[in-house]
Amino acid sequence: MSQYQQHAKKRFGQHFLHDRNVIDNMLRAVNLQPTDHVVEIGPGPGALTFPLLELLPRLDVVEIDRDVIAWWQQQPQAEGKLHIHAQDALKLDIPALRGDGDTLRIIGNLPYNISTPLIFHFLEHRAHIRDMLFMLQKEVVDRLTAEPDSSDYGRLSVMVQYYCEPHYLLKIGPGAFTPPPKVDSAVVYLKPWATPPHVANDPEQFGKLVQQAFSQRRKTLRNTLKGLLSAEQIESVGIDPVRRAETLSVEDFVNLANLLTG
Protein backbone atom coordinates (compact mmCIF):
# COMPACT_ATOMS: atom_id res chain seq x y z
CA MET A 1 0.00 0.00 0.00
CA SER A 2 3.01 2.29 0.32
CA GLN A 3 3.06 2.52 -3.49
CA TYR A 4 -0.61 3.54 -3.46
CA GLN A 5 0.18 6.32 -0.97
CA GLN A 6 2.43 7.91 -3.58
CA HIS A 7 -0.50 8.10 -6.00
CA ALA A 8 -3.17 9.76 -3.89
CA LYS A 9 -6.07 10.95 -6.01
CA LYS A 10 -6.63 14.69 -6.10
CA ARG A 11 -10.30 14.32 -6.97
CA PHE A 12 -10.87 12.61 -3.60
CA GLY A 13 -8.77 15.14 -1.68
CA GLN A 14 -6.48 12.37 -0.48
CA HIS A 15 -3.57 13.07 1.88
CA PHE A 16 -2.66 9.97 3.87
CA LEU A 17 -1.58 10.27 7.48
CA HIS A 18 1.53 8.31 8.46
CA ASP A 19 2.80 9.90 11.71
CA ARG A 20 2.29 7.34 14.49
CA ASN A 21 2.63 9.91 17.27
CA VAL A 22 -0.30 11.86 15.84
CA ILE A 23 -2.34 8.67 15.55
CA ASP A 24 -1.60 7.67 19.15
CA ASN A 25 -2.60 11.14 20.38
CA MET A 26 -5.88 10.94 18.47
CA LEU A 27 -6.75 7.53 19.89
CA ARG A 28 -5.90 8.59 23.44
CA ALA A 29 -8.20 11.59 23.05
CA VAL A 30 -11.27 9.44 22.43
CA ASN A 31 -10.47 6.53 24.80
CA LEU A 32 -12.28 3.94 22.68
CA GLN A 33 -13.85 0.88 24.28
CA PRO A 34 -14.42 -2.54 22.60
CA THR A 35 -18.18 -2.02 22.86
CA ASP A 36 -18.13 1.31 20.96
CA HIS A 37 -19.73 1.51 17.51
CA VAL A 38 -17.02 3.32 15.58
CA VAL A 39 -17.25 4.63 12.03
CA GLU A 40 -14.12 5.76 10.20
CA ILE A 41 -14.46 8.10 7.24
CA GLY A 42 -11.92 7.36 4.50
CA PRO A 43 -9.61 4.61 5.84
CA GLY A 44 -7.11 5.02 2.99
CA PRO A 45 -4.05 2.81 3.54
CA GLY A 46 -4.95 2.25 7.19
CA ALA A 47 -2.86 4.57 9.36
CA LEU A 48 -5.84 4.90 11.72
CA THR A 49 -7.69 1.78 10.63
CA PHE A 50 -5.15 -0.83 11.69
CA PRO A 51 -4.84 0.59 15.24
CA LEU A 52 -8.63 0.76 15.41
CA LEU A 53 -8.90 -2.89 14.37
CA GLU A 54 -6.58 -3.78 17.23
CA LEU A 55 -8.94 -2.10 19.69
CA LEU A 56 -12.33 -3.06 18.29
CA PRO A 57 -14.11 -6.31 17.39
CA ARG A 58 -15.96 -4.46 14.59
CA LEU A 59 -15.22 -1.32 12.59
CA ASP A 60 -17.37 0.36 9.95
CA VAL A 61 -15.50 2.35 7.32
CA VAL A 62 -16.78 4.57 4.53
CA GLU A 63 -14.66 4.59 1.39
CA ILE A 64 -15.37 5.77 -2.16
CA ASP A 65 -12.07 4.82 -3.83
CA ARG A 66 -12.44 1.42 -5.51
CA ASP A 67 -8.70 0.75 -5.43
CA VAL A 68 -8.64 1.24 -1.66
CA ILE A 69 -11.73 -0.94 -1.22
CA ALA A 70 -10.18 -3.76 -3.27
CA TRP A 71 -6.99 -3.54 -1.23
CA TRP A 72 -8.84 -3.73 2.08
CA GLN A 73 -10.81 -6.75 0.92
CA GLN A 74 -7.50 -8.62 0.67
CA GLN A 75 -6.21 -7.75 4.16
CA PRO A 76 -6.34 -10.67 6.60
CA GLN A 77 -6.47 -8.32 9.62
CA ALA A 78 -9.76 -6.93 8.31
CA GLU A 79 -11.51 -10.23 7.69
CA GLY A 80 -14.68 -10.54 9.76
CA LYS A 81 -14.05 -7.23 11.51
CA LEU A 82 -14.00 -4.51 8.86
CA HIS A 83 -17.35 -3.58 7.32
CA ILE A 84 -16.87 -1.45 4.22
CA HIS A 85 -19.52 1.00 3.03
CA ALA A 86 -18.51 1.67 -0.57
CA GLN A 87 -20.06 5.09 -1.04
CA ASP A 88 -19.75 8.83 -0.78
CA ALA A 89 -19.69 9.78 2.91
CA LEU A 90 -22.01 12.71 2.12
CA LYS A 91 -24.72 10.14 1.32
CA LEU A 92 -24.14 7.95 4.36
CA ASP A 93 -27.42 6.91 6.00
CA ILE A 94 -26.38 7.54 9.58
CA PRO A 95 -29.66 6.50 11.29
CA ALA A 96 -29.65 3.19 9.37
CA LEU A 97 -26.00 2.57 10.21
CA ARG A 98 -26.69 3.10 13.89
CA GLY A 99 -29.79 0.91 13.83
CA ASP A 100 -31.05 0.02 17.30
CA GLY A 101 -27.59 0.13 18.85
CA ASP A 102 -25.55 2.73 20.69
CA THR A 103 -24.85 6.12 19.21
CA LEU A 104 -21.96 6.28 16.76
CA ARG A 105 -18.43 7.48 17.38
CA ILE A 106 -17.15 8.95 14.10
CA ILE A 107 -13.47 9.40 13.39
CA GLY A 108 -11.46 10.26 10.33
CA ASN A 109 -8.95 12.26 8.34
CA LEU A 110 -11.63 14.06 6.34
CA PRO A 111 -11.05 14.85 2.66
CA TYR A 112 -10.14 18.52 2.44
CA ASN A 113 -12.44 19.19 -0.49
CA ILE A 114 -15.66 18.11 1.26
CA SER A 115 -14.89 18.56 4.96
CA THR A 116 -17.38 21.38 5.62
CA PRO A 117 -20.35 19.72 3.83
CA LEU A 118 -19.52 16.50 5.69
CA ILE A 119 -19.63 18.23 9.04
CA PHE A 120 -23.04 19.72 8.23
CA HIS A 121 -24.23 16.25 7.19
CA PHE A 122 -23.17 14.85 10.54
CA LEU A 123 -24.75 17.74 12.43
CA GLU A 124 -28.04 17.00 10.71
CA HIS A 125 -27.94 13.51 12.23
CA ARG A 126 -26.36 14.44 15.55
CA ALA A 127 -29.02 12.56 17.54
CA HIS A 128 -27.37 9.35 16.34
CA ILE A 129 -23.81 10.46 17.07
CA ARG A 130 -22.02 10.32 20.43
CA ASP A 131 -18.95 12.25 19.35
CA MET A 132 -16.64 13.02 16.43
CA LEU A 133 -12.87 13.23 16.07
CA PHE A 134 -11.65 14.75 12.83
CA MET A 135 -8.42 15.76 11.23
CA LEU A 136 -9.01 18.78 9.01
CA GLN A 137 -7.24 21.72 7.47
CA LYS A 138 -6.08 23.92 10.32
CA GLU A 139 -8.02 26.88 8.96
CA VAL A 140 -11.25 24.86 9.20
CA VAL A 141 -10.52 23.85 12.81
CA ASP A 142 -9.72 27.49 13.56
CA ARG A 143 -13.18 28.39 12.27
CA LEU A 144 -14.92 25.58 14.15
CA THR A 145 -13.45 26.71 17.47
CA ALA A 146 -13.32 30.49 16.89
CA GLU A 147 -14.71 32.95 19.41
CA PRO A 148 -16.86 35.98 18.53
CA ASP A 149 -15.17 39.12 17.24
CA SER A 150 -12.32 37.25 15.56
CA SER A 151 -11.46 36.93 11.89
CA ASP A 152 -12.07 33.15 11.91
CA TYR A 153 -15.55 33.46 13.45
CA GLY A 154 -18.37 32.93 10.98
CA ARG A 155 -21.38 30.87 10.02
CA LEU A 156 -19.53 27.57 10.47
CA SER A 157 -18.42 28.60 13.98
CA VAL A 158 -21.95 29.53 15.06
CA MET A 159 -23.68 26.48 13.62
CA VAL A 160 -21.18 23.96 14.95
CA GLN A 161 -21.02 25.58 18.38
CA TYR A 162 -24.82 25.67 18.58
CA TYR A 163 -25.00 21.90 18.13
CA CYS A 164 -21.66 20.78 19.59
CA GLU A 165 -18.96 21.52 22.10
CA PRO A 166 -15.75 21.78 20.03
CA HIS A 167 -12.22 21.18 21.35
CA TYR A 168 -9.06 22.04 19.42
CA LEU A 169 -6.68 19.15 20.19
CA LEU A 170 -3.48 19.50 18.19
CA LYS A 171 -1.82 21.09 15.18
CA ILE A 172 -0.15 18.89 12.56
CA GLY A 173 2.40 19.90 9.94
CA PRO A 174 2.37 18.78 6.28
CA GLY A 175 5.17 16.26 6.90
CA ALA A 176 2.77 13.94 8.73
CA PHE A 177 1.05 13.13 5.41
CA THR A 178 1.74 11.48 2.07
CA PRO A 179 1.64 13.43 -0.16
CA PRO A 180 2.24 16.46 2.08
CA PRO A 181 -0.53 19.05 1.71
CA LYS A 182 0.30 22.70 1.16
CA VAL A 183 -1.36 23.70 4.44
CA ASP A 184 -1.20 22.79 8.10
CA SER A 185 -3.78 20.45 9.58
CA ALA A 186 -5.33 20.11 13.03
CA VAL A 187 -7.43 17.67 15.04
CA VAL A 188 -10.77 18.70 16.53
CA TYR A 189 -13.09 16.84 18.89
CA LEU A 190 -16.82 17.57 18.56
CA LYS A 191 -19.28 16.48 21.24
CA PRO A 192 -22.96 17.09 20.40
CA TRP A 193 -24.81 18.80 23.22
CA ALA A 194 -27.42 16.66 24.95
CA THR A 195 -29.33 19.95 25.20
CA PRO A 196 -27.92 23.11 23.61
CA PRO A 197 -27.05 25.78 26.20
CA HIS A 198 -29.21 28.18 24.20
CA VAL A 199 -32.22 26.67 22.46
CA ALA A 200 -33.69 28.04 19.24
CA ASN A 201 -37.46 27.64 18.95
CA ASP A 202 -37.02 26.72 15.29
CA PRO A 203 -33.53 25.42 14.38
CA GLU A 204 -34.26 25.83 10.67
CA GLN A 205 -35.09 29.52 11.11
CA PHE A 206 -32.00 29.88 13.28
CA GLY A 207 -29.83 28.44 10.50
CA LYS A 208 -31.37 30.74 7.90
CA LEU A 209 -30.86 33.82 10.07
CA VAL A 210 -27.21 32.96 10.75
CA GLN A 211 -26.58 32.40 7.05
CA GLN A 212 -28.18 35.72 6.12
CA ALA A 213 -26.34 37.59 8.87
CA PHE A 214 -22.97 36.43 7.52
CA SER A 215 -23.90 36.84 3.85
CA GLN A 216 -22.18 40.26 3.79
CA ARG A 217 -19.67 40.30 6.63
CA ARG A 218 -18.76 43.97 6.38
CA LYS A 219 -22.34 45.18 6.67
CA THR A 220 -24.25 45.82 9.88
CA LEU A 221 -27.10 43.68 11.19
CA ARG A 222 -29.49 46.49 10.29
CA ASN A 223 -28.64 45.84 6.63
CA THR A 224 -27.97 42.09 6.52
CA LEU A 225 -31.14 41.19 8.43
CA LYS A 226 -33.37 43.64 6.55
CA GLY A 227 -36.52 41.79 5.55
CA LEU A 228 -36.23 39.47 8.56
CA LEU A 229 -35.98 41.84 11.51
CA SER A 230 -36.31 45.59 11.99
CA ALA A 231 -33.73 47.65 13.85
CA GLU A 232 -36.24 47.99 16.68
CA GLN A 233 -36.63 44.23 16.97
CA ILE A 234 -32.87 43.75 17.05
CA GLU A 235 -32.59 46.35 19.81
CA SER A 236 -35.37 44.61 21.78
CA VAL A 237 -33.01 41.75 22.68
CA GLY A 238 -30.20 44.09 23.71
CA ILE A 239 -28.23 44.05 20.45
CA ASP A 240 -27.14 47.23 18.72
CA PRO A 241 -28.27 46.98 15.05
CA VAL A 242 -25.05 48.68 13.88
CA ARG A 243 -23.00 45.70 15.07
CA ARG A 244 -21.74 43.15 12.56
CA ALA A 245 -22.52 39.43 12.64
CA GLU A 246 -18.99 38.41 13.65
CA THR A 247 -19.37 40.22 17.00
CA LEU A 248 -22.42 38.21 18.12
CA SER A 249 -22.35 35.14 20.35
CA VAL A 250 -24.32 31.98 19.68
CA GLU A 251 -26.75 33.12 22.38
CA ASP A 252 -27.23 36.43 20.54
CA PHE A 253 -28.11 34.61 17.33
CA VAL A 254 -30.56 32.36 19.19
CA ASN A 255 -32.27 35.40 20.73
CA LEU A 256 -32.60 37.02 17.30
CA ALA A 257 -33.92 33.85 15.71
CA ASN A 258 -36.50 33.39 18.43
CA LEU A 259 -37.96 36.80 17.54
CA LEU A 260 -39.01 35.23 14.23
CA THR A 261 -41.05 32.53 15.93
CA GLY A 262 -42.57 34.53 18.77
Question: Annotated binding site for S-adenosyl-L-methionine, which residues?
Answer: 15, 17, 42, 63, 88, 109
> Torsions phi, psi of 167, nearest 5?
-135, 120
Alpha-carbon span 246 to 150, nearest angstrom: 7
Closest-CA residue to 152 (of 188, 181, 118): 188
Answer yes or no: are the C-beta atoms of 135 and 187 closer than 8 Å.
yes
- In the annotated binding site, the residues are 15, 17, 42, 63, 88, 109
Helix (H) or strand (E) holding 172: strand 164-172
Contacts of 117 by beta carbon, 8 Å cutoff, 6+ apart: 90
**Stated length of the chain:** 262
Q: What share of the chain is helix, strand, coil (3-state, %, to 5)?
A: 45, 20, 35
